[in-house]
Amino acid sequence: MKTAFITDIHGNLSALETVLADIDRYSPDHIVCLGDFVGYGPQPRERLEIVRTRCTHVLMGNHEHAVLNGAEHFTPLARIAIDWTAQQLRDPGILQYLSSLRPAKLEGNCLYVHGSVRDPLFDYVREADSPWMFYRLVQTLREDFKEFKLCFCGHNHRAFLGTELGYIFPHDDQPTPQMKFQLEGQTAYVSIGSVGQPRDGDPRSSWVLFDGKSVEYHRVEYDRQITIDLIHKAGLPEFLADRLLYGE
């Protein structure tokens, strides 16, 4: 069985449509969305409908949570975008759908979360920048990964694997591209990266294909100018358009 993972679409319909077209080339059995399909971007309603129709499982992200409960803990720019998004989604049917979502789902030996194993809604899985952080990752993989072997996560907008052997960053640079990784028998965090607002220095959309044994990362170019123009038209903060150009 093949499962495609998408996450953190964040109002970017152009990116979502391009990614779904790429996913369809591989004919997966399921598509799973790990949350944050609203927030930041200019087309929340359109994206919501597509995600709802195309995905077998849809998780709640912290941005869906903020639409329902307020964005007090967000940065000022993110709060402006959430307030705008909440206005666009003011519809009882939509709010009921958002309320029905959960931030985690266990399926076989895989856990799907928006954030992390420790806090599926708000916590970030981060790449280690110190031996202590790597120690904490190994500790988590050994102690918290009991009912499952792999945890697929979003929220950080960065594509990487966190394993007991270290952090692995997929890349398609020549001459040694490395996008597919065998994970059978291992415990690992599979951080998907973002469809609509990548922040790992690569502005292309990110998604992951899982066949039960290995994960394959995909990066896809989309028409960023369409989304940038719509962000301007909606009067959303300029920063949200600029960051799409650089993947930061």
Interaction of residue 200 with Fe ion, rule CB under 5 A: no
Output the smallest distance, CB 222 to Fe ion, in A.
17
Output the smallest distance, CB 129 to Fe ion, in A.
20
Residue from the set 5, 8, 9, 202 that interacts with Fe ion by CB under 5 A? 8
What are the CA-CA distances from residue 106 to residues 121, 136, 150 (Å)?
15, 23, 10
Q: Please state, in angstroms and rounded to a whole number, the distance separating the CA atoms of residues 165 and 153.
A: 19
Where does this chain touch Fe ion (CB under 5 A) — which range of 5-13, 50-58, 123-131, 137-145?
A: 5-13
Ramachandran category for residue 89: left, alpha or beta (phi over 0 → left; psi -120 to 50 → alpha): alpha
Interaction of residue 36 with Fe ion, rule CB under 5 A: yes
Residue list 116-145, contact with Fe ion (CB under 5 A): none
Output the smallest distance, CB 8 to Fe ion, in A.
4
Interaction of residue 64 with Fe ion, rule CB under 5 A: no
Q: Please state, in angstroms and rounded to a whole number, the distance separating the CA atoms of residues 44 and 37.
A: 7
What are the CA-CA distances from residue 229 to residues 87, 92, 234 (Å)?
20, 29, 9
Output the smallest distance, CB 142 to Fe ion, in A.
28
Which residue lies nearer to Fe ion by CB, 3 or 194? 194
Q: Give the CB-nearest residue to Fe ion.
A: 36
Residue 31, SS3 per DSSP = strand
Which residue lies nearer to Fe ion by CB, 145 or 207? 207
How many chain residues interact with Fe ion (CB under 5 A)? 2
Which residue lies nearer to Fe ion by CB, 36 or 200? 36
Q: H-helix or E-strand containing 86?
A: helix 76-88
Which of 243, 241, 234, 235 is closest to 46 using CA atoms? 234
Q: Please state, in angstroms and rounded to a whole number, the distance separating the CA atoms of residues 76 and 112.
A: 29
Output the smallest distance, CB 198 to Fe ion, in A.
11
Q: H-helix or E-strand containing 181?
A: strand 180-182
Output the smallest distance, CB 157 to Fe ion, in A.
6
The residues that touch Fe ion, with contacts defined as CB under 5 A, are: 8, 36
